Amino acid sequence: MKQIYLIGGTMGVGKTVTCQQIKAKLGNSVYLDGDWCWDMNPFVVSEETKKMVIKNITGVLNNFINCSVCNHIIFSWVMMERNTQ
């Protein structure tokens, strides 16, 4: 059975290091950083780019979910805002 680990937090709290350590301890695992799907120059935040990033993330995650080699998928993302609803 696939296990998906979602690691969120603000910049600089150690998400990358934590995810790399988890990946090293688990077999058949992959680490995906949501920032990779948003690494643009210039960095533009708009409705268009937000939609693009979500499509990028879901596409990459689905590819690894459908891969029989990957049992553990570790995904990290910077929390830009807190939703209290």
CATH number, domain with residue 10: 3.40.50.300
Residue 31: which H helix or E strand, with range? strand 29-33
Does some domain include residue 85?
no
Helix then strand then coil, in percent of the chain rounded to 5, is 40, 20, 35
Does some domain include residue 51?
yes
Does some domain include residue 21?
yes
| Side chain identity, residue 62 | N
Condensed to tens digits (0 to 9), the pLDDT of residues 53-84 reads 999 999 999 999 999 999 999 999 886 655 55
Condensed to tens digits (0 to 9), the pLDDT of residues 13-33 reads 999 999 999 999 998 999 999
Asked whether 37 and 78 are in contact (CB, 8 A), the reply is: no
Q: What is the pTM of this model?
A: 0.82
How many domains does the chain fold into? 1
Residue 60: which H helix or E strand, with range? helix 47-65
